[in-house]
Each structure stands twice: as C-alpha cells, then as structure tokens.
Chain A
Amino acid sequence: MSVMTEMMNCEDYKKALTADPGFEDDSGHAASCASCQDYRTELLALDVGLKAALEIDVPEFTMPELPDLDTDNVISMTHRRSFSKPTWFALAASVLLAAVFGVRMMDTGESYGTLESQVLAHLDHERGSLQVTSTPVSDSRLERVVPESVATLNHEAGLITYAQSCTINGKSVPHLVIQGERGPITILLMPDEDVAKASSFEGANTQGIILPVGGGSIAIIGEREERLERVKQNVLDSVTWDT
C-alpha cells in the first residue's frame, strides 16, 4: 500500500493500518509514537483473532461427477427480467415486426433500420474488437461491462478477449468477443431487444444469427466458415431463466 509518507501523522497512520495491518510505515512515524505502536499491536492481535474465527471447519471433500468435455465458448446468462407469457397483441406485433425486418433484409440488404443491419454496422464500426488473441479480458472489466444485474457470464468456460459497453438501437449492450475455430466471434447481449424468432443474416465476410432469449435477444456473428450452430447451442444451453 502506498501512502504519502512525508505527510504521515497519527490519523493517517491509524487509518492506513486499520485498512491493512501489514502496512509498512516508511516515514518512521510509528517508531516515535507510543500511541500508534499500541494501536498497531491491538490491530495485529485483532487480526490473529479474525483469522482464527474465519477458519471454520471444512467438510470432507466430495468431487462432483465430472462430465466428458466438449464445450469451448460457453456463456451462461441469467436474464434480469422475468419470463412472462406474451399477450396476443405483443405476439402479433412481434410477428409483424419480424416480417417487416425480413422483407427489408431481403429487399435491400443494406438498410440500417433493422436490428441485423444495425448489428453489422456496429461491427464494421468496431473492427478493432476482432483480434485473434489468447489474452482474455480481465474479470474486473468483464464485470463492469456485464454487471450481474444484467447477466452472469461463465468467463472461465470460454476465452473472452474483448468486452465493451456499446449502443445498439439506442440501448446499452454488452459487446463481447470470444475466440472461435475460424476467428473471433462477436456476441451481443441485448436484454431489451425483443425479437419474435431467430433470424440469420450475412455481412461481407461474416454470418450472423439473432436468437430470441426471453424478453431480449443475443446476436452471434462470426466468419463465414465458422460453425455458429455449435456456439449457438452452447449459449442457449447455458441460459438460466428466472421463473
């Protein structure tokens, strides 16, 4: 811990010590202050007691049944909203929207009005995210980008190499990149983008799918040769819904 040692006084010293009894006092303040020495002794004794109190008995170890493995890039997502049955109106509206989106996609393939085209446009804008790398994003960054109130990610199961909060369709969206078999794969978690059914789309050298997940959706975009079905299945298998 670094503290400005030249400014050290009793208050600073005790505060630093209370936060970390292992704090090293480079200023020499404690050596000349009996009160601070007593305080240090008191805190060290407290920590000895704390450690003993925290060392609760541990039950006998039982190894769970470990499955055979075939999972890479698994993402576990817990949705923050309850899964409710759609009303007829919402269902009809969703189907209508999906139909409009589908027609527009077939018609122009370039319209930025559809969710698919917005996703592609965003990827085009953020090409830097598509790096082939073995360096994962830090846990702290991942937790900032995907707070537990939005989703829970199984970061350990796959190599997440990019995490950024982005805006799609005016809404904040966690933008992640994992390493696939053919290159980087983009995953956009869109908890507020309700889609009626799964759709697929293609970019210049990419292919993508948007999957309805509860009241939101997930977009997965990879290289043309990437087996997105496999990634898709891993994602869907790992979704745990609130009931």
Chain B
Amino acid sequence: MNTSNATGDRRLRFDRLVAVFYMDMFRYAAWLCRDRSIAEEVVQEALLRAWKSLDALRDDAAAKQWLLTIVRRENARYFERRRLETVDIDNLTASQSAMLAEAPNEELDDLREAIYGLEDDYREPLVLQVLMGYSTNEIAELMGLKQGAVLTRLHRARLKLKEKVADEVHS
C-alpha cells in the first residue's frame, strides 16, 4: 500500500468513526462541562487528539469508549488550563443557559435543570449510563472507579433527581 492510499484509508476510517460518534461526543462533553460553547471547543480538541492517535485504536468496536475517554481528558485539560469556577445555576452565562433552554416541555425542562444541578461526580456516571447505554462496569473502567463506587453514585444521583422531581410536583 502506498503512502497516499494509507493516508486516504486513515482519513476514511476517521471520518466514519466521527460520523457515528460525534453526537455522543458532543452530548457527553456538554454534560461534563455544562456549557455548549465549551463543549464545542472540547470536542474540536478531542477530534484533533483522536486524529493524531488513531493508530492507537486497534479495534473500531472500542471506538466509542476510546473517543469518550479523549473527550473526558480534553474536558479536564480545558478546565485545568482555565481554572474555571464552579457553575452557579442561578447565575449562568448565555452559553450555559442554552443547555437548559431547549426542552420542548416544562416537565423535561425541570428534569434537565435538575440534572444540570447535580454534582459532577453524580452527573457523569448518570450520563454514561442513561445516554450512552454503558454498564456500570464500563463506567467504572472509563472513570477509573470501582464498580461499587459507580453504583453508589448512580443510586444517589437518582435519589436526588427523584426528590427534585417530587419537589417540583408539590410546588
């Protein structure tokens, strides 16, 4: 195989993977950082990283986990560079508010706000389980936690959300 063919094949492979997983990458990034603009930056950086290291991905069946891991690291790197403050849900920027302003109905709006208000430690495994369809084992692997810790976080996350939803109903 000559060089240009190899480069073309590489690009083709990359485009195919990105086409399949771009939405997951963006949503994961958005729920990690809770800001659409930052999520776009994080995903762009993650794509660059993924492109440079595509050869390290030996099995495309593992591409989703691989890409999400890159997104996770890029998000951490982004915040480490900028040392952003914790998001105050009562004082959001326009870009942060945009995360919450899209829900098609009030019930979903409340739920989205409740998820948004969860601590990072609880929100992330929930996103991976509910949105990405990951098992608790896979979440543990991606987050570098023991499975028991993941189960505890998921349990607490849902309890908090149930309480929030119940509060909304009562109010």
Judged by a CB distance under 8 angstroms, whether A43 is at the interface is yes
Judged by a CB distance under 8 angstroms, whether B76 is at the interface is yes
Identify the closest chain B residue to A78 (Cβ).
B80
The secondary structure that dominates the A interface is loop
Assembly CA distance A2 to B112 (angstroms): 30
Interface bits B99-129 vs A (CB < 8 Å: 1, else 0): 1001100011001100100000000001101
Q: Which chain A residues lie closer than 8 Å to B112 at the CB level?
A: 53-54, 56
**What's the least CB distance linking A56 to chain B, in Å?**
6
Judged by a CB distance under 8 angstroms, whether A154 is at the interface is yes
Interface bits A38-66 vs B (CB < 8 Å: 1, else 0): 00000100110111111111110111101
**What's the least CB distance linking B93 to chain A, in Å?**
16
B81 touching A64, Cβ below 8 Å: no
Q: Which chain A residues lie closer than 8 Å to B108 at the CB level?
A: 49, 52-53
A64 touching B103, Cβ below 8 Å: no
B141 touching A51, Cβ below 8 Å: no
B155 touching A18, Cβ below 8 Å: yes
A20 touching B162, Cβ below 8 Å: no
Binds B, one of A26-34, A117-125, A155-163, A211-219: A155-163
* Interface set, chain A 140-163, CB cutoff 8 A to B: 140, 143-144, 148, 152, 154-159
Interface bits B139-163 vs A (CB < 8 Å: 1, else 0): 0111111000011101100110110
Select one of A18, A58, A78 contacting B77, CB under 8 A: A78
Select one of B53, B77, B141 contacting A156, CB under 8 A: B53
Binds B, one of A68-76, A88-96, A165-173, A224-232: A68-76
B151 touching A53, Cβ below 8 Å: no
Q: Which chain A residues lie closer than 8 Å to B130 at the CB level?
A: 47, 50-51, 54
Q: Which chain A residues lie closer than 8 Å to B140 at the CB level?
A: 140
Judged by a CB distance under 8 angstroms, whether A138 is at the interface is yes
B interface residue count range (under 10 / 10 to 19 / 20 to 34 / 35 or more): 35 or more
Judged by a CB distance under 8 angstroms, whether A86 is at the interface is no
Q: A18-B155, A63-B47 are in contact. Are A156 and B69 (CB under 8 A)?
A: yes
Q: Which chain B residues lie closer than 8 Å to A66 at the CB level?
A: 11, 14, 47-48, 51
Assembly CA distance A119 to B165 (angstroms): 57
Select one of A18, A53, A148 contacting B115, CB under 8 A: A53
A69 touching B52, Cβ below 8 Å: yes
**What's the least CB distance linking B28 to chain A, in Å?**
10
A59 touching B77, Cβ below 8 Å: no
Q: Which chain B residues lie closer than 8 Å to A136 at the CB level?
A: 56
**What's the least CB distance linking A180 to chain B, in Å?**
15
**What's the least CB distance linking B149 to chain A, in Å?**
11
Assembly CA distance A152 to B75 (angstroms): 11
Interface bits B35-75 vs A (CB < 8 Å: 1, else 0): 01000100010011111110011100000001001100100
Q: Which chain B residues lie closer than 8 Å to A18 at the CB level?
A: 154-155, 158-159
Contacts A54-B112, A61-B18 known; 19 new A-B pairs at CB < 8 A? A18-B155, A46-B162, A46-B165, A49-B108, A50-B111, A56-B102, A58-B27, A59-B40, A62-B44, A67-B51, A76-B77, A144-B144, A152-B80, A154-B53, A155-B73, A156-B53, A156-B70, A159-B56, A240-B77
Residues of A within 8 A of B (CB): 1, 15-16, 18-20, 43, 46-47, 49-59, 61-64, 66-67, 69, 71, 74, 76, 78, 134, 136, 138-140, 143-144, 148, 152, 154-159, 240, 242
